[in-house]
Amino acid sequence: MTLQQLKYMIIIAERGSITEAAKELYISQPGLSGAVKEVEKEAGIAIFNRCRAGVALTKEGMEFLGYVRQVVQKMELLESKYIDKKPAKLYLCKNNENVLRKLFEEYSLNFYELFTATPYILISKDHPLAKCASVRLDDLKPYPRLGFVRGTYESSNFSEELFSNEPAERNIKVSERAAIVNLMIGSEGYTISSGIFPKYLQGDAIVSIPLEEDEVMRIGYILNKDKELSELGEIYVEALRQYRK
């Protein structure tokens, strides 16, 4: 199986339809169906259940897709090392540090910590929890969780939000930051972050509430071990340092 075929599996799972996935990928439906059969044959499992409404992941398919996402994410990290050559901003926490540290070592990357932050939720100023001094994860259960996806193939270890593996009754993923802001303002949705929120993104309409959970975000950037920051990179990193608490 090829990396491209693995990406196909993710798109099909997200769209719930081989037809819709084929349209998005600009390939023929028979060609995409053939790719699915090839991957299923090589993996020795049925990845999808077929029905009139489309396709759905089997139990084995869900497990398989979890590994696929990690493989694709690693490849993107490799591409960032040898192609992008720019510092990438991220954070370490209890949930992702072991995985990411191994990847840093594998791809000869250094992590440079800029500051630490405790978790906050971001919600509309009119949200039912907006007047709370702090909240717990249990307090958030009635409300939809909003998440930002950096690209189609993101795995939880690369998620921008803490506790992304925690179950949520309603989980909304978007690929545009403005969409998250609009959803926060227009609904009772929330997202979890460092509490840093720029005013130019309708910041006056958003409030941050401390999330009382045992977790800390160590925010920093990664860079190739044999590379130095460019002049523009230095300016970018210095701007990030301004958010130290």
Query: Based on the domain organization, do 110 and 44 belong to the same domain?
Result: no
Across the chain, mean pLDDT equals 84
Query: Based on the domain organization, do 91 and 127 belong to the same domain?
Result: no
pLDDT of amino acid 183: 87
- Residue 55, pLDDT above cutoff 60: yes
Q: How confident is the model at residue 152 (pLDDT cuts 50, 70, 90)?
A: low
Distance CA 158, CA 152 (A): 12
Domain that holds residue 90: 85-115+217-241
**CA atoms 85, 90, 92, 98: torsion sign:** negative
Query: Based on the domain organization, do 138 and 199 belong to the same domain?
Result: yes
Query: Based on the domain organization, do 52 and 167 belong to the same domain?
Result: no
Residue scoring higher pLDDT (133 or 202): 133
Query: Based on the domain organization, do 235 and 204 belong to the same domain?
Result: no
Q: Which CATH number covers residue 195?
A: 3.40.190.10
pLDDT of amino acid 140: 94
Query: Based on the domain organization, do 221 and 111 belong to the same domain?
Result: yes
Residue scoring higher pLDDT (26 or 201): 26
Express each pLDDT in 35-49 by its tens digit.
999 999 999 999 999
Lowest-confidence segment of 126-135, 152-161, 177-186, 193-202 by average pLDDT: 152-161
CB-based burial, 19-55: b 16+ in 10 Å, e otherwise: ebbbeebeeeeeebbebbeebbeebeeebbeeeeebb
Q: 78 lies in a domain? A: no
Query: Based on the domain organization, do 126 and 205 belong to the same domain?
Result: yes
Express each pLDDT in 206-222 by its tens digit.
899 999 999 999 999 88
Q: Which CATH number covers residue 55?
A: 1.10.10.10
Q: How confident is the model at residue 107 (pLDDT cuts 50, 70, 90)?
A: confident
Residue scoring higher pLDDT (226 or 125): 125
Round to the nearest angstrom and report the end-to-end CA distance of the chain. 47
Express each pLDDT in 75-98 by its tens digit.
776 666 555 556 777 888 888 888
Query: Based on the domain organization, do 111 and 124 belong to the same domain?
Result: no
The token duo for 95 is 């949930």
